[in-house]
Amino acid sequence: MQKLIQGIHEFQNQDFTELKGLFEQLAKGQQPETLFITCSDSRIDPGKLTRSQPGELFIIRNAGNIIPPHGASNGGEAATVEYAVAALGVKHIIVCGHSHCGAMAAVLDPSQTNKLPAVASWLGHAETTRRIIDEHYAKLKGKRQLMAAVEENVLVQLENLRTLPSVASRLVQGDLVLHGWVYKFETGEVFAYDPEAGQFVELAMYQLPQQQAAARKGELRTV
């Protein structure tokens, strides 16, 4: 705890001084371009990973970077997504899973949550992920199966996002883009889901899918 308090002193004396103008500007309001959804895991630092400044990322964190589909939960996730999309007008939503995710390990081995009823209940929202792994990745073992669960879970959450009315509406409008990422923190690598390739690719190879959104918008206009 002492380390945290010391950290605040150093932040106030050093970092804050450097960013004073930015924080004063942000006191007037925020206009983040991106909603970043990731796991609560302590080994992930979205700001450091993306070298973002305060005011740039609107963030949702929970165990397993899970967004329950529309109507499935009264939790804060749907409300926070709605605020980001409909009030703040974010242009991008990133769901970022990560290697060695304890939540996904528990999805694959529910006995880990025998004495954690709230965690078990929450991970019930990842039942789709569990079933996909059970039915399609049963031959994989250990870390490979866990990584498959991390990747499939990101895709499941992207689908869940599409069920939220605020997100669905903006997607039809064509000015919101969803991204699925996996962060391998032990190597610093980030992989992004490429819908064209149907797989996760290195971020450097990833083409922003804005054109797909625009193409769909055009298609609807001609009908």
Which residues are marked as active site? 39, 41, 43, 98, 101
Distance CA 35, CA 158 (A): 13
Helix or strand run (H / E) with residue 181: strand 177-184
Please tell me whether residue 213 binds Zn ion under the rule CB under 5 A: no
Closer to Zn ion by CB, 103 or 177: give it.
103
Min separation Cβ 141 and Zn ion, Å: 20
Q: 106 vs 15, 44, 149, 150, CA distance in Å? A: 38, 19, 11, 11
Closer to Zn ion by CB, 41 or 177: give it.
41
Number of shown-chain residues binding Zn ion (CB under 5 A) = 4
Please tell me whether residue 147 binds Zn ion under the rule CB under 5 A: no
SS3 38: strand
Residue 22's identity, in one-letter code, is L
Mask for 97-136, x = binds Zn ion (CB under 5 A): ----x-x---------------------------------
Strand partners, 95: 37, 180
| Rg (alpha carbons) of the chain, rounded to whole number | 19
Please tell me whether residue 84 binds Zn ion under the rule CB under 5 A: no
**Class of residue 149 by CB neighbours under 10 A (exposed 0-12, middle 13-18, buried 19+):** buried
Contact 183, 97 (CB under 8 A): yes
| Residue from 39, 67, 85, 192 in contact with Zn ion (CB under 5 A) | 39
| Residue from 36, 37, 38, 41 in contact with Zn ion (CB under 5 A) | 41
Distance CA 189, CA 147 (A): 14
Please tell me whether residue 57 binds Zn ion under the rule CB under 5 A: no
Min separation Cβ 169 and Zn ion, Å: 30
Min separation Cβ 101 and Zn ion, Å: 3
Q: 10 vs 26, 27, 49, 71, 194, CA distance in Å? A: 21, 22, 21, 44, 41
Min separation Cβ 5 and Zn ion, Å: 27
Closer to Zn ion by CB, 44 or 161: give it.
44
Min separation Cβ 105 and Zn ion, Å: 9
Please tell me whether residue 96 binds Zn ion under the rule CB under 5 A: no
List contacts with Zn ion (CB under 5 A): 39, 41, 101, 103
